[in-house]
């Protein structure tokens, strides 16, 4: 019963259904398998899959694999895993390369119609002839080749007779167009290179604009959502769809129907929305790849990376990412989103979804002198303060505890409410202690606090209601499990690492403190966590059992997010 979302994309879909233009809608998510998906893709995924589902339609996952030089099977698999993890199921899994034969037949049709020609200009000449925003372009000297010659040359391009760069197939549109994308753009190029899906079957490959438009048409996509930078490409998109007209020429789809695929061609509509940008990070696959390859991060799934794999390992949940995308909304306004918005969504999700535990990450020994050395106790703690459904757990308690070092101050700063020499503090769920003695080592470092427990202040007793300023968390030093705790923070120390105006590159702005590993202690029930299970460690933040390295006997927890926004000022 979520409220109806009212953005301009959904309004278009709603209108198309109301007017009877479409009875069912169909979208697609079309990543190029040339890297891992990042949080920007999560926005596109949530829109493509989310809108289809909201309107009773379906969404295809299409791997846009038209450029073999940067693509790999590794990414094809990872993309599928990421989409499923986010909580979406595609209608069909397709590859743009599944349609290469259809695209080829479409190109021959364009040649026969006089809408495409084989051009022998070099890449450099093409650039030169293209003109600029202020100058119209000039027509290629090969523009008026006969249909027969074009067809012959294009077939020989396919047959592998020419070297890379020697010829292209270009759409014949308008060299004087104010839109440079329409100045006879290339639609096929020669590449003598194996493809991750089609192997050596092809040595000519379609250009993105042509393949994308036709891919959408082949699948009967009704609403083709993409980011704003494609707005200027829309006239070319429409030109390709209209001139090839797959919906009106089912014979062009024969290679697919022969292979058992359904006839679905329709005329798609491209709709552009703004890209997601987040501060304190970089987002393009190229830059993320560079971080991985230079070893500046520990791989694509480094918990500091904005990749879905990195966010997942950091402890981000699918629900928190979907909440984030919902909260952003959809518009045509490009903007920079504050990283804290993303963190807020994770806190919101985990506040409700994560059980509470106690952990100490910077331990200081606390000895309760009025409990016997062999005193052992087990205290029942609720797992969630607001949800009884989480049940309770047993927390071991004895005369030796660990507390956080910064919960004690020998010389307290103003307003300090925790433990000081001679002062009292409440141990969460255990009673009130008074600090009698501060034990130091030879260098003057505090190594142990000796305290007495007020025996009338145990949970449930009248004396427990005594007003005490501070409550601190603790773990039993006899029962707690030693744990590797990875404290992650933002990867970059400036809001716009990519700005470049200071003459520096994003690599110069890495936050040197973005990963700190410490040894802490957690209560036994936290050590039993399954990999990827999240907890709120009371007063510290949300932590997740590391997906790969955590084991009950050797726990490893990653800090997902602190409880409060420590970057706000
Ligand atoms: P990058 O520039 O990071 O390499 P891309 O746009 O080349 O990304 P594609 O694989 O082509 O990546 O993207 C697949 C889909 O995801 C496209 O529809 C694209 O518009 C969308 N997308 C990519 N980045 C973002 C982003 N930052 N915000 C919203 N959508 C995005
Ligand atoms: Mg790309
Ligand atoms: Mg792209």
Residue 185 in contact with ligand 1 by CB distance below 6 A:
no
Q: For residue 403, what is the DSSP state?
A: E
Residue nearest to atom 15 of ligand 1 (CA): 31
- The predicted-structure confidence for 519-546, as pLDDT tens digits, reads as follows 999 999 999 999 999 999 999 999 999 9
How much is the average pLDDT of 388-402? 98
CA 39 / ligand 1 centre spacing (Å): 10
Is there a single domain that holds both residue 371 and residue 464?
Answer: yes
Q: What is the pLDDT of residue 233?
A: 98
Q: What is the pLDDT of residue 344?
A: 97
Residue nearest to atom 9 of ligand 1 (CA): 31
User: Structural domain of residue 386, as residue ranges?
Assistant: 359-472
Is 285 marked as a binding-site residue?
A: yes
- Please name which ligand lies nearest the alpha carbon of 49: 1
Residue 215 in contact with ligand 1 by CB distance below 6 A:
no
How much is the average pLDDT of 232-248? 98
> What are the catalytic residues?
32, 275, 285
Residue nearest to atom 22 of ligand 1 (CA): 41
Is 39 marked as a binding-site residue?
A: yes
Is 268 marked as a binding-site residue?
A: no
Nearest one of 130, 59, 109, 337 to 240, comparing CA atoms: 109
DSSP 275-315: PEEETTS---HHHHHHHHHTTSSSSTT-TTSSBHHHHHHHT
CA 402 / ligand 2 centre spacing (Å): 50
CA 59 / ligand 2 centre spacing (Å): 20
Residue 334 in contact with ligand 1 by CB distance below 6 A:
no
Q: What is the pLDDT of residue 568?
A: 47
Is there a single domain that holds both residue 485 and residue 468?
Answer: no
Residue 337 in contact with ligand 1 by CB distance below 6 A:
no
ipTM of the assembly? Answer: 0.96
How much is the average pLDDT of 378-394? 97
Asked whether residue 365 is domain-assigned, the answer is: yes
The span from the CA of 383 to the CA of 377, in Å, is 18
- The predicted-structure confidence for 50-75, as pLDDT tens digits, reads as follows 999 999 999 999 999 999 999 999 99
Is 60 marked as a binding-site residue?
A: no
Q: Which of 421, 446, 472 is the last residue of a domain?
A: 472
CA 443 / ligand 1 centre spacing (Å): 56
- CATH number, residue 493: 2.40.240.10
Residues constituting the chain: 569
- The predicted-structure confidence for 106-148, as pLDDT tens digits, reads as follows 999 999 999 999 999 999 999 999 999 999 999 999 999 999 9
The span from the CA of 322 to the CA of 43, in Å, is 8
- Closest approach atom of ligand 1 to CA 230: 20
- The predicted-structure confidence for 3-59, as pLDDT tens digits, reads as follows 678 899 999 999 999 999 999 999 999 999 999 999 999 999 999 999 999 999 999
Whole-Å CA distances, 213 to 91, 269, 455, 513: 19, 9, 76, 45
Asked whether residue 429 is domain-assigned, the answer is: yes
List, in sequence order, every residue forming a beta bridge with 520; answer none if it has no partner: 483
Banded model confidence at residue 569, pLDDT cuts 50, 70, 90: very low
DSSP 405-428: GGGB-SSPPTT--SB-TT-EEEET
CA 562 / ligand 1 centre spacing (Å): 29
Q: What is the pLDDT of residue 3?
A: 63
CA 40 / ligand 1 centre spacing (Å): 7
Is there a single domain that holds both residue 373 and residue 464?
Answer: yes
Asked whether residue 194 is domain-assigned, the answer is: no
Which run of H or of E encompasses 201? Answer: none
Is there a single domain that holds both residue 461 and residue 506?
Answer: no
Asked whether residue 412 is domain-assigned, the answer is: yes
Q: Which of 472, 505, 539 is the last residue of a domain?
A: 472
How much is the average pLDDT of 454-474? 94
* Top-confidence residue, 2 or 483: 483
- Closest approach atom of ligand 1 to CA 288: 3
Residue 30 in contact with ligand 1 by CB distance below 6 A:
yes
Asked whether residue 48 is domain-assigned, the answer is: no
Is 157 marked as a binding-site residue?
A: no
**From 31, 63, 225, mutation site for ligand 1 pocket: most ligand atoms within 8 A of C-beta:** 31
Residue 83 in contact with ligand 1 by CB distance below 6 A:
no
Residue 223 in contact with ligand 1 by CB distance below 6 A:
no
The span from the CA of 418 to the CA of 470, in Å, is 5
Residue 357 in contact with ligand 1 by CB distance below 6 A:
no
The burial class, CB within 10 Å (0-12 / 13-18 / 19+), for 508 is exposed
How much is the average pLDDT of 191-213? 97
Is there a single domain that holds both residue 363 and residue 407?
Answer: yes
Asked whether residue 23 is domain-assigned, the answer is: no
Neighbours of 259 (CB within 10 A): 9
Is there a single domain that holds both residue 461 and residue 557?
Answer: no
Which tokens hold the place of 29? 């998510």
The span from the CA of 340 to the CA of 347, in Å, is 10
Residue 436 in contact with ligand 1 by CB distance below 6 A:
no
Q: Which of 472, 502, 529 is the last residue of a domain?
A: 472
Number of domains in the chain: 2
Residue 276 in contact with ligand 1 by CB distance below 6 A:
yes
CA 86 / ligand 1 centre spacing (Å): 16
Is there a single domain that holds both residue 486 and residue 349?
Answer: yes
Residues 6+ apart with CB under 8 A from 567: 339, 340, 490
303 has pLDDT over 80: yes
263 has pLDDT over 90: no
Dihedral sign from CA coordinates of 115, 117, 122, 123: positive
CA 220 / ligand 3 centre spacing (Å): 21
Is there a single domain that holds both residue 429 and residue 521?
Answer: no
Which tokens hold the place of 349? 């999700």
Mean per-residue pLDDT over the chain, rounded: 95
Place of tokens 């490009």: 334
**From 41, 90, 285, mutation site for ligand 1 pocket: most ligand atoms within 8 A of C-beta:** 41
Asked whether residue 43 is domain-assigned, the answer is: no
**Furthest-apart CA pair in the chain: how many Å?**
102
Is there a single domain that holds both residue 524 and residue 564?
Answer: yes
Residue nearest to atom 16 of ligand 1 (CA): 41
Is there a single domain that holds both residue 468 and residue 495?
Answer: no
- The predicted-structure confidence for 288-300, as pLDDT tens digits, reads as follows 999 999 999 999 9
Is there a single domain that holds both residue 375 and residue 461?
Answer: yes
**From 29, 40, 225, mutation site for ligand 1 pocket: most ligand atoms within 8 A of C-beta:** 40
418 has pLDDT over 90: yes
Q: What is the pLDDT of residue 567?
A: 54
Asked whether residue 550 is domain-assigned, the answer is: yes
CA 32 / ligand 3 centre spacing (Å): 7
Is 40 marked as a binding-site residue?
A: yes
**From 34, 44, 226, 281, mutation site for ligand 1 pocket: most ligand atoms within 8 A of C-beta:** 44
Phi, psi (5° rounding) for residue 408?
-125, 140
How much is the average pLDDT of 403-415? 96
Is there a single domain that holds both residue 370 and residue 458?
Answer: yes
- Closest approach atom of ligand 1 to CA 37: 10
Q: What is the pLDDT of residue 538?
A: 96
- Closest approach atom of ligand 1 to CA 33: 10
Percent over 90 (pLDDT), the chain: 93
Q: What is the pLDDT of residue 499?
A: 82
- Please name which ligand lies nearest the alpha carbon of 37: 1
How much is the average pLDDT of 464-469? 92
């Amino acid at each position: 019963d979520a409220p109806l979302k009212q953005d301009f994309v959904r309004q278009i879909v709603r209108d198309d259904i109301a007017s009877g233009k479409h009875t069912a809608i169909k979208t697609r998510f079309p990543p190029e398998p040339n890297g891992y998906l990042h949080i920007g893709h999560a926005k596109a995924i949530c829109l493509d899959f989310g809108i289809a589902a909201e309107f009773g339609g379906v969404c295809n996952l299409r791997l846009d694999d038209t450029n073999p030089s940067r693509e790999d099977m590794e990414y094809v698999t990872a993309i599928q895993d990421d989409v499923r993890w986010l909580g979406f199921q595609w209608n069909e899994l397709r590859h743009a390369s599944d349609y290469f034969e259809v695209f080829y037949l479409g190109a021959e049709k364009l040649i026969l119609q006089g809408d495409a020609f084989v051009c022998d200009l070099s890449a450099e000449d093409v650039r030169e002839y293209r003109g600029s925003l202020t100058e119209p372009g000039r027509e290629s000297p090969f523009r008026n080749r006969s249909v027969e010659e074009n067809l012959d040359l294009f077939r020989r391009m396919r047959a592998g007779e020419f070297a890379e760069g020697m010829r292209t197939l270009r759409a014949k549109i308008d060299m004087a167009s104010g839109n440079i994308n329409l100045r006879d753009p290339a639609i096929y190029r020669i590449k003598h290179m194996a493809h991750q899906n089609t192997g050596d079957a092809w040595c000519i490959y379609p250009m993105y604009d042509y393949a994308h438009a036709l891919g959408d048409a082949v699948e009967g996509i009704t609403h083709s959502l993409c980011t704003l930078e494609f707005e200027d490409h829309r006239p070319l998109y429409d030109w390709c769809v209209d001139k090839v007209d797959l919906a009106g020429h089912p014979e062009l789809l024969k290679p697919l129907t022969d292979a058992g695929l359904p006839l679905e061609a329709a005329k798609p509509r491209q709709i552009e929305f703004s890209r997601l940008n987040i501060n304190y990070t970089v987002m393009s696959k190229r830059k993320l790849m560079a971080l991985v390859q230079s070893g500046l991060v520990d791989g694509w799934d480094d918990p500091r990376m904005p990749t879905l794999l990195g966010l997942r390992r950091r402890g981000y949940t699918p629900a928190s990412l979907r909440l984030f995308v919902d909260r952003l909304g959809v518009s045509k306004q490009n903007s920079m989103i504050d990283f804290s918005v993303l963190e807020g969504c994770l806190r919101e999700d985990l506040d409700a979804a994560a059980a509470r535990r106690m952990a100490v990450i910077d331990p200081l020994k606390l000895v309760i002198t009025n409990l016997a050395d062999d005193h052992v106790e087990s205290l029942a703690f609720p797992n969630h303060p607001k949800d009884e459904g989480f049940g309770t757990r047993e927390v071991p308690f004895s005369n030796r505890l660990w507390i956080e070092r910064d919960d004690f101050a020998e010389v307290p700063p103003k307003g300090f409410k925790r433990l000081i020499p001679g002062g009292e503090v409440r141990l969460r769920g255990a009673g009130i202690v008074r600090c009698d003695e501060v034990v130091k080592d030879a260098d003057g470092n505090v190594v142990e606090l000796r305290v007495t427990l007020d025996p009338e202040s145990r949970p449930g007793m009248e004396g427990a209601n005594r007003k005490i300023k501070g409550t601190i968390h603790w773990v039993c030093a006899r029962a707690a499990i030693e744990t590797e705790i990875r404290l992650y923070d933002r990867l970059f120390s400036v809001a716009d690492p990519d700005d470049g105006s200071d003459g520096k590159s994003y690599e110069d702005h890495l936050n040197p403190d973005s990963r700190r590993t410490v040894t802490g202690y957690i209560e036994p029930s936290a050590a039993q966590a399954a990999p990827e299970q999240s907890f709120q460690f009371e007063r510290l933040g949300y932590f997740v059992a590391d997906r790969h390295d955590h084991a009950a006997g050797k726990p490893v927890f990653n800090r997902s997010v602190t409880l409060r926004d420590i970057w706000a000022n």
